[in-house]
Amino acid sequence: MIIAIFLFIYVVTTGVQAFLPSVVKSTTAFGVTFPPQQSQHVVLTQAKKNYSKFVCLLSFIGIIVIFVLATVVFQWHEEQVVIMIIVVMLFVQIVAVSIYMYFHKKINRTKQQENWFGQVKQVRVVDLTARQRDAMLPTHFYLVLFLFPVVLFLYLMRHYALLPDAIPIHFNFEGKADQFLHKNYSSVLALPFFLLMQLWVTFGMFYGLKRSAIVGLVNAKEASITAQLRLRKYMSYYFFVLAMSFILLVSYMGLALVHHTLAKPTYVMAIFMGFAFINTLTTIALFSIKKRCRMLYEQDIVSNLADVDDDQYWWLGFVYCNRKDSSVFLEKRLGLGWTLNLGNTWSYILVVLPVILMIVMGILIGVLN
Amino acid sequence: MFIMIEPTSSVPIYEQLTRQIIEGIVKGEIKVGDTLPSVRAMAADLGVNMHTVNKSYKALAEKGVVTIKAKSGAVVCAGDALNEQQLLYLQQALKPVLAEGIVLGATEQQLENMLQQLLRELTTKEAML
């Protein structure tokens, strides 16, 4: 059984790895920007095909090798096979990344040699009406949510006498608490603080996205801006649902501390399952929306306009850092969705800081316990 | 309406922005009473510094094309009747371009045709680039 699970993980991760370069922004390949006029260039099409083929083949060979070693040569038991699967998976990932780097360098070289951007005019397109058409949820929708951790904290403080001496902070699969904190004012603070940080991150992602650029593809202006606006709208709904589900979960846990009848393992199970269910469902929904809202060039481009080449701000084609750009998020080059602008202070305030605080809190709780 | 900025052009970005907004107004794509996007939003969308957009909006306000209001931002205004000063400014702005044309050997007829053609282009709704 456990082998089957790990084999499944293996197939999914290597599969994603193999086809990731096909799911990219339509003006980049292996982290290199190219003008849309070059999209049929033999270097690009060959690279994509060869990369996917090679990674698929490698992962297939990996499975065969594990199978032969495990059954014919060594007669391993379950644990050893699982470890082997993990090792081979890591190996495939490393090889895939090095092939990615190889093609990144190769395409870049061809781009420089043939001076792809010398033959076109680089243009950045902005729609003046885009901000009016932007249908993201208003900011106060999110700001109101910050009342919840405050109210929760006040509520717990008010009923301090009713709280159990050992405050549960971790639950096992049967819904029973298996880790506790001693009751004192700081441990009572932990729950509202955790909620506050979660809300901070979700608000940060929402607000960061709201402040980020709405920019179109030059040769598909209307379609690309419409796609982006639609994606922004659904992302803001997604963050809101995410924040609400966290509030429900944490509020339940807070209430269960005061009203002990609520703390039955079956309830805990139901609440956690519900939370996981809502999150999985909305994430799947978001993924399919993202896929439909991709900005693509569908036909061959006849104009001499190209989107701006911003390769200089991308480290190896997937880490973005541009101090002059006031956007917090921008379209990823590899895969679907957005990536952080590491050159912008707001990225740290909105997203990185709360994540660090949460990790610090986790460590502190571990140490204090 | 779309604004298209060329970061590699020799024309500064704030100048490109100013020109294109004015052209948009001339073509009727931006109407009197419309509000331009906030400086912050515009800067994010263009991927430039807020200072650049500010400079452009200020230039538009100086030319009397927009009024900058504290709460609502830059609003396109109807422009009062053209005054002597503005006319003089336009004349001075045109002068070096005409001089360059004459130096390069353009005839009076050619320059006049060019002016006519540009006027026609601006007052009909066509793509800018």
Per-residue pLDDT reduced to its tens digit, B81-103: 677 877 888 889 899 989 999 99
Q: Which residue in B2, B38, B45 is closest to A213 by CB distance?
A: B45
Q: What is the dihedral of CA A221, A294, A347, A105, to 10 degrees?
A: -100
- Chain A (98-157) residues lying within 8 Å, Cβ to Cβ, of chain B: 121-131
The DSSP bridge partners found for residue A315 are A319
Give the model's confidence band at A127: pLDDT under 50 very low, under 70 low, under 90 confident, else very high.
Answer: very high
Phi, psi of A156 (to 5 degrees): -65, -40
The whole-number pLDDT of residue A191 equals: 87
Residue A80 has a CB neighbour count (10 Å cut-off) of: 13
Confidence class for position A298, pLDDT limits 50, 70, 90: low
What backbone phi and psi angles, to 5 degrees, belong to B8?
A: -90, -5
pLDDT (mean) for A13-19: 85
Specify whether A220 is located in the same domain as A347.
yes
- Based on the domain organization, do A198 and A324 belong to the same domain? yes
- Give the pLDDT band (50/70/90) at residue A200: very high
* Number of neighbouring beta carbons within 10 Å of residue A319: 14
* A300 and A347 housed in the same domain: yes
Handedness of CA A217, A222, A227, A228 (dihedral sign): positive
**Residue A266 has which token pair?**
């079956």
Query: Do the domain assignments include residue A260?
Result: yes
Residue B79's pLDDT band (boundaries 50, 70, 90)? Answer: low
pLDDT of residue B125: 56
> In angstroms, rounded to a whole number, what is the distance separating the alpha carbons of residues A287 and A23?
13
Provide mean pLDDT across the span A99-128.
Answer: 90
User: How far is residue A70's CA from residue A149's CA, in Å, rounded to a whole number?
Assistant: 52
Question: In whole angstroms, what is the distance from residue A269 CA to residue A128 CA?
Answer: 50
Q: Where are the beta strands (DSSP E) in chain A?
A: 28-29, 32-33, 121-127, 166-171, 177-182, 305-307, 314-315, 319-320, 329-331, 338-340
Q: Are residues A236 and A264 in the same domain?
A: yes
Q: Kindly report the average pLDDT of chain A as a whole number.
A: 86
Q: Is there a domain that residue A125 lies in?
A: no
Average pLDDT over residues A174-202: 83
Bridge partners for A216 per DSSP: A125
Average model confidence (pLDDT) for chain B? 86
The answer on pLDDT for A270 being more than 90 is no
In a domain, A196, yes or no: yes
Taking the CB of residue A176, how many other CB atoms lie within 10 A of it?
11
Same domain, A106 and A247: no
The pLDDT of residue A220 is 85
Q: Which of A125-134, A257-266, A334-343, B75-84 has the lowest mean pLDDT?
A: B75-84
Of A297, A310, A293, nearest in space to A124 by CA: A310
What H or E segment, with its residue span, contains residue B75? Answer: strand B73-76
Q: For residues A296 and A314, which has the higher predicted lDDT (pLDDT)?
A: A314
Q: Give the best residue of B42, B45, B49, B60 to mutate against chain A (max A CB count within 10 A).
A: B45
User: Structural domain of residue A335, as residue ranges?
Assistant: 130-368
Q: Sort out which chain A residues have CB atoms less than 8 A from B6's CB and list them.
A: 121-124
pLDDT at A84 over 80: yes
The residue type of A50 is N
Q: Do B7 and A130 touch (CB under 8 A)?
A: no
State residue A121 phi and psi, 5-degree precision: -100, 125
Residues A255 and A308 placed together within one structural domain of the fold: yes
- Count structural domains, chain A: 2
Q: A12-22 as b/e, with b when 16 or more CB fall inside 10 Å?
A: ebbeebbebbe
Residue A25 has a pLDDT of: 75
Query: Is A208 in the same domain as A88?
Result: no
- Whole-number Å distance between alpha carbons of A212 and A322: 13
Task: Tell me what pLDDT residue A184 has.
Answer: 79
**Considering the domain boundaries, does residue A124 fall inside one?**
no
Distance CA A218, CA A125 (A): 6
A263 lies in a domain? yes
- Assign A28 a pLDDT band (cuts: 50, 70, 90): confident
pLDDT interval class at A296 (50, 70, 90): confident
Are A199 and A310 members of one domain?
Answer: yes
Our CA-based measurement puts residue B22 at a distance from the nearest CA of chain A, in whole angstroms, of 13
Q: Answer yes or no: do A233 and A252 share one domain.
A: yes
A266 plus A148 within the same structural domain: yes
User: What's the pLDDT score for residue B28?
Assistant: 83
Which candidate in A120, A125, A126 is best for mutational testing of the B interface (most B CBs within 10 A)? Answer: A126
**Is the pLDDT assigned to residue B129 strictly greater than 60?**
no
Q: In the listed set A55, A87, A119, which residue is the last one of a domain according to the structure?
A: A119
Q: How confident is the model at residue A99, as a pLDDT?
A: 92
pLDDT value for A287: 82
Percentage of chain B surpassing pLDDT 90?
37
Of residues A26 and A138, the one with the higher pLDDT is A138
Residue A341 pairs in a beta bridge with A320
Question: Is 90 exceeded by the pLDDT of residue B15?
Answer: yes
Assess whether A60 and A134 both reside in one domain: no
Half-sphere exposure of A326 (CA within 13 A, CB side): 19
A174: in domain: yes
Among A119, A152, A186, the domain-final residue is A119
pLDDT, residue B127, reads: 45
pTM for this entry: 0.82
Q: Which of A16, A27, A23 is nearest to A48 (CA)?
A: A23
How does residue A203 score in pLDDT terms, banded at 50, 70 and 90?
Answer: very high
Mark whether A293 and A336 lie in a shared domain. Answer: yes
Angle, CA of A185, A190 and A195, to the nearest 5°: 140
Q: Is the pLDDT of residue B128 over 60?
A: no
Cα Rg for chain B, rounded, in angstroms? Answer: 16
At A43, the amino acid letter reads: V
**Six token digits for residue B115:** 């002016």
Domain contains A56: yes
The pLDDT of B99-123, averaged and rounded, is: 89
Instruction: Closest CB to B30: pick one of A128, A218, A305.
Output: A128
Domain boundary among A57, A89, A119: A119
Tell me the C-alpha distance between A13 and A23, whole Å: 15
Looking at chain A, the whole-number percentage of residues with pLDDT higher than 70 is: 98
- The conformation of residue A222, written as its DSSP 8-state character, comes to H
User: Which pLDDT value is given to residue B56?
Assistant: 94
